Amino acid sequence: MYLENMFGLNGKVAIVTGGRRGIGQTVACGLAKAGAEVAIFSRTLSPETVKMIKDEGGKTYDIAVDVTDEKGVDD
């Protein structure tokens, strides 16, 4: 319980770019397990990652955006 209070992410929002697969997917799921709401930014939607997070009781936002396009990020 002490470590959860010290290192937990409850009440925080994490943004993960490239969360559709690979390292980004693993990071997104890990942040969700630590209690963060996770916003996944990816060029295409990330239904598999969203399902993994929701199946564990986490909250996630799936946002299709190319982070190299400044106007797209602003929109």
Q: Residue 57 domain-assigned? A: yes
CB 37 within 8 A of CB 13: yes
Q: pLDDT band at residue 3, thresholds of 50, 70 and 90? A: low
Name the helix (H) or strand (E) containing 47.
helix 47-55
Q: Residue 75 domain-assigned? A: no
CATH number of the domain within which 16 lies: 3.40.50.720
Q: pLDDT band at residue 74, thresholds of 50, 70 and 90? A: confident
Q: Residue 47 domain-assigned? A: yes
Euclidean distance between CA atoms 41 and 11, whole angstroms: 19
Q: Assess whether pLDDT exceeds 70 at residue 33.
A: yes
**Taking the model in full, what pTM does it have?**
0.84
At 7-17, the pLDDT tens digits run 789 999 999 99
Q: Give the residue numbers spanning the domain of 44.
A: 9-69
Q: Residue 36 domain-assigned? A: yes
Encoding tokens for residue 4? 């959860």
Q: What is the pLDDT of residue 16?
A: 96
Q: Residue 74 domain-assigned? A: no
Q: How many domains does the chain have?
A: 1
